[in-house]
Amino acid sequence: MADPFTSALVSDVVGRLTSKAIQEVGLFRGLENDLSALEDTFKQIQAVLYDAEMKQTTQKDVEEWLRTLKSASMEVENVLDEAKTEDMIQMLHREMGKRYKIRAFFSSHYNPLMARCRIAHKVKNVRKKLEDIDANRSRFQLTPNNIREDVAGIGSVISNRETSSLVNLSKIYGRDEEKKMIVDKICNSDIGIRRDIDDVRVYAIWGMGGIGKTTLAQYVYNHETVKTHFDLKFWVYVSNEFDVRRIIKSICGSEDPQLDAMQVCLQKMLQGKKFLIVMDDIWIENKDIEKWDELCKALSCGAKGSTVVVTTRKNDTVKMMAKVSELQHQVGVLSEEESWSLFKMLAFPGGGEGENVSSELELVGKEIVKKCKGLPLAVKTLGSLMSTKEKVDEWKLVNSKFMLEMQDNGIFTALRLSYDDLPPHMKICFAYCCLFSKGEEMSKDTLIELWMANEFIPSKGDVSLYMLGEEIFTCLVRRSFFQDVIEEGTYRGETCKMHDLMHDLAQSIMKHDCAVLEPGKELKIGDEVHQVLHLSLSSQRFHLLIQDLEKLRSLRSISALYDKRIFSQVYLRVLYLNKIESSTLPESICKLIHLRYLKISYSKIKVLPESIIYLQNLQTLIVNWCRKLRELPKGLRYMRNLQHLDTDYCPNLQHMPVGINKLTNLQRLPEFVVGRDKGARIGELGNLKLLGTRKLMLSKLENVGGLRDAESANLKDKTNLKSLTLDWSSLNRSGTFDSEVLEGLEPNLGLQELSILWYMGTVLSPSWLVKLVNLTSVNLINLRMCQQLPPLGKLVNLTSIKLINFEKCEQLPPLGKLPCLKSIKLYIMGSLKCFHDDDNATSKDEILFPNLQKLSIIDCSALVSLPNNFPKLRSLDIQFCDKLRFLPDEIQSFKDFNQITITDCEILSRRCEKEIGEDWPKISHIPNQFIYETPR
């Protein structure tokens, strides 16, 4: 399949050579003729590139010519980048002062005179290579601009037809009977049980790739009946390798090196609970049967009715796992009518409803649908493709290409047709995603930053690359290259996944450029390992390859990998390291001058080397879950291209470095650690616009001097901020200024989530709180001195309230009239005696807590009563509440009540004892009851 990288690369190089910015690079003075010649050569080659890419599939010499062109184009890109970077480093030395200039003079790498000679030599050398490549072009009789308007695809713009970026596929076409049958069976605890034979009940959903197995399983998993029937639910993506450790880790989170210990952890979690586990895309073979049996034994501790649902393409797998025929379901194809309904919804504005659809388009569309043979993925992909086409001729062209190219694998042809229609930069953005594992959740923000780091996104005037990346992401979602899009709240960002067959397509496209090395598997590159540009590892075998990886641009390590030779990979744009045991990185990291994305996670590093400031192209610096990290480089303020700085879950970080306000390009900053004597004061935050920051945590607020100091953070002007956490961190202090500091940290009115931690004031009443009418979630944690809570009942959009560790609060504010409130969690509130008096209904007609679904009360030892009216309550969890003596009478009329848990509440547990307790009639209708008393 055609390599998308060459077209994107050549376009990028031409853009650089024709830009005004290149004239400002000092090291190019005297090389104007060479650069002009390069520009002319590239433009001549670009004119025939489309024809060459079409011919390479049948002409091996053209394919080889393109690979040579790609290699030379990367050299040009590298030298242009190097010259620009050398200019930035020289500017850096001027800013930093004489001491740094002297040190740099003795380094040949940063000696300005030697840099000029080195760049000149490289430019002239690569010019000669390009001229030789261009001279060979005539051998292939390539036609300039061989791309008609009607087959040009969507080009560099997204169609402006009115369609949603996230198509609503909540209706699964043609599956109504199947959905109902599966839900009924897995919710009937008596079906498929073979006592004393099976350790666990298994239901198998099977069929060919793209038939809709996962979609059907997702529907079942999220069905309301299933949610209420099972106590616990887990979704595990398995794929080709049946790894028991990984499966158990996905369920219970255990990372114990001993499998036995992991199984014990799993059994503790599942013991006595009715659970549902979906294992998606399983490929178990005879060699794996012992592993499967081992896992089944660990799962045998669940309550009656516990079920494992598996999806698979293989009938042999079904026979091995789901041995009761009643628990096997083969997914069939859609009918033509059902396929047309799905296609129409995607291809036409408004789903083709309520408007006149062209009869000509409908006729062609139905021909395309017929060729999809009822495969939902093919229908969905081509429907998304046709949403970008408005002319009948365009539809006919796709239809004819589908007919000509379709062989045995029609679905792969459909995917490839949609892929071929993308412009080069979108092709490479999609194909690059094969570095992620099958089934892996991908963050939109991460994808865009990786695309930016690899320079896949062409610039467009003054529009930020990130915004252009968002357009690409939206288009790939709209065109069904990405699926399962989840928006985890506007402050957490979007995630997505790729269908397995889409992942296979991406891998086939990038077979020469991308490699994934997994445990126990060989790297299938052969003699071409030196050509690999992007590498993803979950194996320790990197040291065997590193000397051959000459051109590596991306290295993504999921396993514990640390080899100092990594820092000799000078062309790296992306570096992601995990579980580093060393306390720091080597100073030689400064050699990675092309690096734009650096992520270090779950590592023991304490400091980052000061030499990191030489990475003048760095856009993203993520150092998260590094619990020993104490400080960031003092010279961080000189990294002017930094757009994203993330230090999440680094509890020992003392402060942000002084001068962080100089980072004028910084867009995303999830955490700001306030300093006092050495680090950055909170006022430095005031100068940063942080337009891309949706979620911000301010920690060590005890270092803020008072009201004026707090106001200097200028949070009111951070208009895109949706989630704010205010954390005082330190425990042993008086909290004298806490209330005025809190008053000065007034956020913008669009805030949706507010968390306050370790505030030591006795009253929590900032004047701005009641103005935050868009708040949906409030979390107040460890406010141990606080006696009075703010009037939360005035925040009419609240859906969730969490209060933890209030030692002195005796009464809650009125909450019962909040129309949207769904969840209340009260933990460790030893003085709390009751809810507010206004939260008790005085008549049957009075409705309070109209939408509350979940109420959790844990370790509230003084609480004596509950409100009496929760008409929509589904779950009630009460633990360690010794003085709570009874449940309200009204509880027996709550129709949606599904689960009650009472743990270590001696009096209440006795009153709720089955059949004989005084309160038993109130809860006897509840399907799931868990009442425990810990032996004393």
- Summarised one tens digit per residue, pLDDT across range 300-325 is 898 888 999 999 998 888 988 988 88
CB-based contacts of 682-686 (< 8 A; 24+ apart in sequence):
682/709, 682/710, 682/712, 682/713, 683/709, 683/712, 683/713, 684/656, 684/658, 684/659, 684/660, 685/661, 685/712, 685/713, 685/714, 685/715, 686/661, 686/712, 686/713, 686/714
The pLDDT confidence band at residue 1, using thresholds 50, 70 and 90, is: low
What is d(CA 414, CA 210) in angstroms, rounded to the nearest whole number? 11
Backbone φ/ψ region at 657: left (φ over 0), alpha (ψ -120 to 50), beta: beta
**Does 155 score more than 90 pLDDT?**
no
Distance CA 469, CA 472 (A): 5
pLDDT digit string (tens) for 249-298? 888 877 777 888 888 889 888 988 899 999 999 988 888 888 898 899 88
What whole-number percentage of the chain has pLDDT above 90?
57
- What is the C-alpha separation between 360 and 73, in angstroms, rounded? 45
Average pLDDT over residues 344-361: 80
Name the band, by pLDDT with cuts 50, 70 and 90, for residue 842: confident
pLDDT in tens, 26-42: 888 889 999 999 999 99
Q: How many of the other CB atoms lie within 10 Å of CB of 117?
A: 11
Listed range (558-562, 723-727, 809-813) with the worst mean pLDDT: 558-562
Centre a 10 Å sphere on the Cβ of residue 831 and count the other Cβ atoms it contains.
15
The mean of the pLDDT values for the chain is 87
The per-residue pLDDT for 56 is 86
What is the pLDDT confidence band of residue 510, given thresholds at 50, 70 and 90?
Answer: very high
Minimal CA–CA distance to 469: which of 451, 493, 487? Answer: 451
Residue 855 has pLDDT above 90, yes or no: yes
Tens-place pLDDT, residues 723-734: 999 999 877 788
Amino acid at residue number 848: L
C-alpha–C-alpha distance, residues 299 and 310, integer Å: 14
- 538 or 455, greater pLDDT: 455
Q: Residue 165: which pLDDT band, with cuts at 50, 70 and 90?
A: very low
Sign (positive or negative) of CA dihedral 147, 150, 153, 159: positive
CA angle 400, 401, 405 (to 5 degrees): 120
Is it the case that residue 104 has pLDDT exceeding 60? no
Q: What is the pLDDT of residue 411?
A: 85
What's the pLDDT at 115? 83
pLDDT at 404: 63
**Beta strands, E only, 152-214:** 201-206
pLDDT at residue 689 is higher than 60: yes
786 within 8 A of 808, measured Cβ to Cβ: yes
- Indicate the CATH number for domain 176-330: 3.40.50.300
CA angle, corner 213, sides to 209 and 216, nearest 5?
A: 155
Residue 662 has pLDDT above 60, yes or no: yes
Three-state secondary structure call for residue 571: coil
Could you give the 3-state DSSP secondary structure of residue 282? Answer: strand
- Alpha-carbon separation of residue 165 from 239, 384, 472, 494, 833 (angstroms): 28, 11, 11, 12, 49
Of 582, 638, 580, 569, nearest to 610 (Cα)?
Answer: 638
The answer to whether the pTM exceeds 0.85 is: yes
Give the pLDDT confidence of 76-86 residue by residue, as tens digits.
999 999 999 99
Task: Tell me the backbone φ, ψ of residue 559, rounded to 5 degrees.
Answer: -90, 175
Contact indicator for 742, 766 with CB cutoff of 8 Å:
yes
Contact 630, 654 (CB under 8 A): yes
Predicted confidence at residue 148, as pLDDT, reads 38
In the numeric block, which tokens belong to residue 646?
Answer: 């993330």
Tokens encoding 110: 């940063």
Residue 196 backbone zone (phi > 0: left; psi -120 to 50: alpha; other: beta): left
In the chain, count H helices and then E strands.
25, 26
pLDDT class for 196, splitting at 50, 70, 90? low
Average of per-residue pLDDT across 111-123:
86
CA 547 to each of CA 163, 326, 558, 568: distance values in angstroms, whole numbers, following the listed order: 49, 55, 20, 10
Which band of pLDDT confidence, cut at 50, 70 and 90, is reported for residue 869?
A: confident
Percent of the chain at pLDDT > 70 equals 90
State pLDDT tens for residues 437-480. Answer: 988 999 999 999 999 999 999 988 889 999 999 999 999 998 99
Report which residue type is found at 532: V
Q: CA 99 to CA 219: how far, in whole Å?
A: 65
Q: Which of 56-70, 398-412, 851-865, 870-884 has the lowest mean pLDDT?
A: 398-412
- 819 against 56, higher pLDDT: 819
More confident residue, 564 or 129: 129
User: What was the pLDDT predicted at 721?
Assistant: 95
- pLDDT score recorded for residue 403: 74
Sheet holding 494-497, edge to edge: 442-443, 494-497, 483-487
Q: Is the pLDDT of residue 617 over 90?
A: yes
**pLDDT of 582 over the 60 cut:** yes
Q: Examine the pLDDT at 248 and tell me if it is beyond 70.
A: yes
* CA 599/CA 601 separation, integer angstroms: 7
Rounded Cα–Cα distance for residues 29 and 15 (Å): 19
In angstroms, the first-to-last Cα distance of the chain is 69
List 707's β-bridge partners, or say none: none
- Paired with 900 in beta bridges are 876, 929
Does an H or E element contain 398, and which?
helix 392-405
Whether the pLDDT of residue 170 is over 70: the answer is no
Element (H, E) at 77: helix 60-96
Question: Pick the residue with more confidence: 797 or 141?
Answer: 797
Which of the listed ranges 146-160, 209-223, 514-528 does the model predict with the highest average pLDDT?
209-223
698 vs 113 pLDDT, higher one: 698
**In whole angstroms, what is the distance from residue 235 CA to residue 232 CA?**
11
pLDDT recorded at residue 520: 60
User: Which of 703-717, 734-748, 840-854 comes out lowest in average pLDDT?
Assistant: 840-854
pLDDT of 380 reads 92
Residue 166 clears pLDDT 50, i.e. is over it: no
62: how many CB neighbours lie within 10 A of its CB?
20
The predicted pLDDT at position 820 comes to 96
Residues with Cβ within 8 Å of 516's Cβ and at least 6 positions away in sequence, in order, are 434, 435, 437, 535, 536, 537
Is the model's pLDDT at 426 over the cut of 80?
yes
Tokens of 267: 């059994």
Closest alpha carbon to 724 in 703, 702, 694, 763:
694
Spatial CA neighbour of 478 closest among 204, 753, 161, 813: 161
The tokens of 6 are what?
A: 């060459």
Q: What pLDDT score was predicted for residue 146?
A: 47
Token pair in block for residue 728? 């005082």
Which residue has better confidence, 114 or 234?
234
What pLDDT shows up at residue 354? 56
**Which has the closest alpha carbon to 344: 362, 324, 317?**
362
SS3 of the chain: helix, strand, coil, percent, to 5: 40, 15, 45
Report the pLDDT averaged over residues 212-221: 91
Q: What is the pLDDT of residue 224?
A: 87
Q: What is the pLDDT of residue 493?
A: 74
Q: How many CA atoms lie within 13 A of 397 on its CB side?
A: 18
Task: Using DSSP bridges, classify how beta strands 823-827 and 854-858 pair: parallel, antiparallel or unpaired.
Answer: parallel
d(CA 252, CA 273): 14
What separation in angstroms does the CA of 477 have from each of 365, 422, 471?
Answer: 21, 13, 10
**Got the DSSP string for 2-19?**
--SHHHHHHHHHHHHHTS
pLDDT at residue 529 is higher than 90: no
Residue type, 499: H
- Give CA separation, 330 vs 174, 280, 758, 774, in Å: 14, 15, 55, 47
Range(s) for CATH 3.40.50.300 in the chain?
A: 176-330
pLDDT at residue number 94:
86
Q: Indicate if the pLDDT at residue 151 is higher than 50.
A: no
